[in-house]
Structure 1
């Protein structure tokens, strides 16, 4: 049984809920991949809340939330690609997270559909996402949504004190 989620643009009042979802999902997704002490350090709700307040205020990236009843259960941040040599028509999923209690319940695909529509409205024809190579759940999600790995893009990203191997995934927006 799939639940129908409403998706709407995030408001400044949503920043705390977004930060809480971001932290809870990251803790769950990276448990066993990143050492616990480093995981706790990078999961500060306060730091994430400040980041998402600024993102919402300046629409960089555009942020939308998935709502189940009156509760925010996921969010997506998307905009033009941040990759230096990408075309103007390339969009990027900057972040897409659902609260762990709503994993595998359609939140992610609902958010992906909303981001795809938003990117098409912006004139984008392709979309990318950077995903840690050891985050199997995120890789599976993106691949189920039609993204393909670009293994030649694999790189090490610094997230606070942690180094994480990432790969870019890409897909056309139409189709």
Structure 2
């Protein structure tokens, strides 16, 4: 259950943010797949992006919403003109007092609108409300646009991790942001 109002809006934003529910799992999966297909083209295999990813993301989000319902975190959906344009998924503070920004996605048409920055602001407030001292996230090493976005907002590189995505080896960069 969200501690936020059902929807909230800042007069400077051209969108509103609302907490997602399990009924939004398919919508979140579709936005996630659309965002990855755009952002990860040339990074992940085309076959994965074009044929496997949608089903994989749908399975992932149905499972993830079960975890979130059990208190693991929360998802917020951004809405503009009655259309979903992005989302952010936050995971409750870990043993180090850091909230994982598990996903932050603005659909291709919403990039540059201030949506990502607004969602990070909500994420920081959500984390502070839970007593967190910092937030962290992971960015694929070749995703220079995302790296530039986070670094320009004060996030700092804290490590590198080997991972697998789309059937290939990748490097995920860990970024951190103090919020206290």
TM-score range, shorter chain: 0.7 to 0.9
Deviation (angstroms), 1:157? 0.9
1:172 match: 178
For structure 1, the 5+ residue unaligned runs are: none
Matches within 5 A, 1:93-108: 93-108=101-116
How many residue pairs get aligned? The number is 167
Matches within 5 A, 1:11-22: 11-22=21-32
Check if 1:42 corresponds to 2:50. Answer: no
The equivalent position to 1:78 in structure 2, one of 90, 113, 121, is: 90
Deviation (angstroms), 1:3? 4.5
Check if 1:139 corresponds to 2:147. Answer: yes
Distance 1:49 1:129, change over 3 A: closer
Distance 1:72 1:52, change over 3 A: farther
For structure 2, the 5+ residue unaligned runs are: 1-11
Check if 1:23 corresponds to 2:13. Answer: no
State the Cα RMSD in Å. 2.0
2:9 match: none
Question: What secondary structure sits across from 1:120 in the alignment?
Answer: helix
State the alpha-carbon separation in 1 of the partners of residues 84 and 16 from structure 2.
9
1:161 match: 167
State the alpha-carbon separation in 1 of the partners of residues 58 and 41 from structure 2.
20
TM-score (norm. length: structure 2): 0.83
Large movers: runs of 4+ above 4 Å:
none
TM-score (norm. length: structure 1): 0.85
Question: What secondary structure sits across from 2:23 in the alignment?
Answer: helix
Deviation (angstroms), 1:140? 1.4
Distance 1:140 1:51, change over 3 A: farther
2:66 match: 54
Deviation (angstroms), 1:33? 1.1
Question: What secondary structure sits across from 2:77 in the alignment?
Answer: strand
Whether the 8 Å CA contact 1:27–1:43 is kept in 2: the answer is no
Distance 1:8 1:55, change over 3 A: farther
Cα-to-partner distance string for 1:105-147 (whole Å, 9 max, x where unaligned): 1111111111110000000111111111111121112112210
Question: What secondary structure sits across from 1:158 in the alignment?
Answer: strand
